[in-house]
Amino acid sequence: MDEQITSEEAESPEEGKKLWYVLKVQSNREKSIREALLKRIKREGLEEFFGEIVVPTEKVAETKGGKKRVVERKLYPGYIMIQMILNDDTWYLIRDTNGVGDFTGAAGKPIPMGDEEISRMLGHEEEKELEPAKLEIGFSAGETVKIKEGSFQSFEGVIDSIDQTSGKITVLIEIFGRSTPAELEYWQLEKV
């Protein structure tokens, strides 16, 4: 899979195989650049030379103001994966699209991704859709925290354990000289 496809080899889709490449693009514009690429490909009539165009993302659960919501976060900000047959027409179409920096590779020569990289990145995407959304918890075990909400408000304690799937954190609070475990939501805590 490390061989380069020259323009003569890739003139027709039957002769060349669509390989995956990584494009460097402007950050925070990945989705709009993907849409622009799709429109240009259709307008130029080069659909047969292109496969999928992917902005790798994952779903993450966030809590703001006590409300839980699931948001999509980019795994590789500033990069788009594209499946295509590389020839002069496709190369120029990609390079002339507003917001696209360059292909990743050595000295401006696009290098296709290896099979294991593709399956890891695309497999990662498929797993994410089957898994429940990951919670973004900014705490770690052993950290001292202050409880900002609930029946133990204003108490300080040390994090004993964290349940990533439910977002529950067990905090050891000292009450009457004894360590008492309290199970709290991660958003009820703040760092000291």
Q: In this structure, are residues 170 and 47 in contact, taking their beta carbons and an 8 Å threshold?
A: no
- Both 162 and 68 in one domain: the answer is no
Give me the CATH number covering residue 99. Answer: 3.30.70.940
What pLDDT band is residue 172 in, cutting at 50, 70 and 90?
very high
pLDDT tens digits for 142-170? 999 999 888 888 999 999 998 877 778 99
2 burial (CB, 10 Å; 0-12 / 13-18 / 19+) is exposed
- Both 101 and 158 in one domain: the answer is no
- Both 30 and 108 in one domain: the answer is yes
Residues 58-71 as b or e (16 or more Cβ within 10 Å = b): beebebeeeeeeee
Which residues neighbour 190 within 8 Å (Cβ) at sequence distance 6 or greater? 145, 146, 148
Structural domain for 74, as ranges: 19-135
Q: Where are the alpha helices (DSSP H) in the chain?
A: 30-44, 88-95, 115-130
- Both 125 and 31 in one domain: the answer is yes
Q: Report residue 137 as tokens.
A: 């918890």
The helix/strand/coil state of 167 is coil
Q: What is the pTM of this model?
A: 0.56
pLDDT tens digits for 37-49? 999 999 999 999 9
pLDDT tens digits for 49-92? 999 898 888 887 777 766 777 888 888 888 899 999 988 888 88
Establish if 85 belongs to a structural domain: yes
- Both 174 and 109 in one domain: the answer is no
* Pairwise pLDDT comparison (138 vs 12), residue with the higher score: 138
**Domains: count for the chain:** 2
